[in-house]
Structure 1
Amino acid sequence: MIEINIIKPLNTADGEINLAVDKKIEDGEFLTLFGKSGSGKTTLLRIIAGLEVPESGYIKVDNEVWFDSKRGINIPPQRRNVGFVFQDYALFPNMSVEDNLKFALQDKNKFKKVDDILKIMEIQNLSKMKPQHLSGGQKQRVAVARALMREPKILLLDEPLSALDSTMRQKLQDELFFIHQKFGIISLLVSHDIGEIFRLSSRVFKISSGEITHDGSPSEVFANQNISGKFKILGEVLSIKKSDILYIVEVLAHNEIIKVTAIKDEIKELLVGDKILLSSKAFNPILTKI
Structure 2
Amino acid sequence: MAFAMARPSPGKPAMTKSSPPQPDLFSFDVHKRIGTARGAFELRAALQLRRGDCLAVLGASGAGKTTLLRLLAGLAAADGGHIHAFGRCWLDHPRGFSLPTRKRRIGYVFQDYALFPHMSVRGNVRFAQRRDSPAQLADRLLETVGLSALAARRPAELSGGQQQRLALARAIAAEPELLLLDEPLSALDAGLRRSLQDELIALRRQYGLTTILVTHDPGEAVRLAGRAILLEGGRIVADAPPAELYGGRGEALTLGGRVLAVEDGPDGVLYRIDADGRALLARAAGGAVLAPGSVVTLTAERWTARPVGPGALHRAQPAQPPEQQQGERAE
1:3 aligns with 2:22: no
- CA offsets 1:12-45 (integer angstroms, 9 cap, x no match): 2331111101211111111110001111101111
- 1:92-125: CA deviations, max 9, x gaps? 1111101111111221773211111111212101
Letter of the aligned partner of 2:253 in structure 1? L
Q: How many residues align?
A: 241
Corresponding residue of 1:179:
203
* Deviation (angstroms), 1:235: 4.6
Q: For residue 118 of structure 2, what is the aligned residue in structure 1?
A: 94
Tell me the SS of whatever aligns to 1:37: coil
Q: Does 1:277 align with 2:300?
A: yes
Letter in 2 for 1:82: I
User: Counterpart of 1:33 in 2: which secondary structure?
Assistant: strand
SS of 1:31's equivalent in the other structure is strand
Distance 2:46 2:183 in 1: 23
Distance between the aligned counterparts of 2:31 and 2:252, measured in 1?
37
Quick check: 1:21 aligned with 2:45?
Answer: yes
Q: TM-score when scaled to structure 2? A: 0.68
**SS state at 1:6 partner:** strand
* Preserved contact between residue 129 and residue 175 of structure 2 (Cα < 8 Å): no
2:82 is the counterpart of 1:63: no
Judge conservation of contact 2:130–2:175 (CA < 8 Å) in 1.
no
Q: Does 1:114 align with 2:114?
A: no
Q: For residues 166 and 89 of structure 1, what CA distance do their matches in structure 2 show?
A: 18
Per-residue deviation at 1:177?
Answer: 0.9
Distance 1:142 1:61 in 2: 26
Shift of the 196–109 alpha-carbon distance from structure 1 to 2, 3 Å rule, reads closer
The question of whether the paired residues in 2 share the 8 Å contact of 1:13 and 1:38 is answered with: no
Identity, in percent, stands at 39
Matched, 1:54 2:78: yes
Q: Secondary structure at the match of 1:20?
A: strand
Q: Give CA-to-partner distance per residue, 1:195-248, whole Å, 9 cap, x none.
A: 111111100010000000000101221115xx9xxxx97259xxxxxxxxxxxx
Aligned equivalents of 1:233, 1:181: Cα separation in 2: 28
SS of the residue 1:223 aligns to: helix
Q: Any idea what the Cα deviations from partners look like across 1:142-196, whole Å, max 9, x if unmatched?
A: 0000011110011100000000010000000011111111111111111000011
> In the alignment, what sits opposite 1:249?
none
**Contact in 2 for aligned 1:102/1:108 (Cα 8 Å):** no
Task: Quickly say closer, same or farther: Cα 1:99–1:18, change in 2 above 3 A.
Answer: same
**Alignment partner of 1:126 is 2:143:** no
Higher strand share: 1
Work out which of the residue numbers 220, 224, 234 in structure 2 matches 1:196: 220
Tell me the distance in 2 between the aligned counterparts of 1:88 and 1:217. 28
Closer, same or farther: CA 70–36 of 1 in aligned 2, 3 Å = same
Structure 2 segments unaligned to the other structure (5+ residues)? 1-24, 256-284, 287-298, 306-313, 316-331
Equivalence for 1:156: 180
Matched position secondary structure for 1:118: helix
Give the letter aligned to residue 158 of structure 1.
D
Q: Tell me the amino acid that sits aligned with residue 151 of structure 1.
A: E
Ranges in structure 1 where 5+ consecutive residues have no aligned partner = 237-258, 261-275, 286-290
Separation of aligned partners in 2, 1:98 and 1:8: 37
1:82 to 103, 106, 119: 106
Distance change (3 Å), C-alpha of 1:204 and 1:279: closer
Q: Quick check: 1:32–1:188 contact (8 Å CA) kept in 2?
A: yes
Deviations, residues 223-275 of structure 1 (Å, cap 9, x unaligned): 15xx9xxxx97259xxxxxxxxxxxxxxxxxxxxxx99xxxxxxxxxxxxxxx
Change in 2 beyond 3 A, CA 1:94/1:53:
same
Instruction: Output the aligned Cα RMSD.
Output: 2.5
- 2:161 corresponds to: 137
Confirm whether residue 234 of structure 1 aligns to residue 271 of structure 2.
Answer: no
Q: Distance in 1 between matches of 2:133 and 2:105?
A: 19
Please state whether the residue corresponding to 1:70 is helix, strand or coil: helix
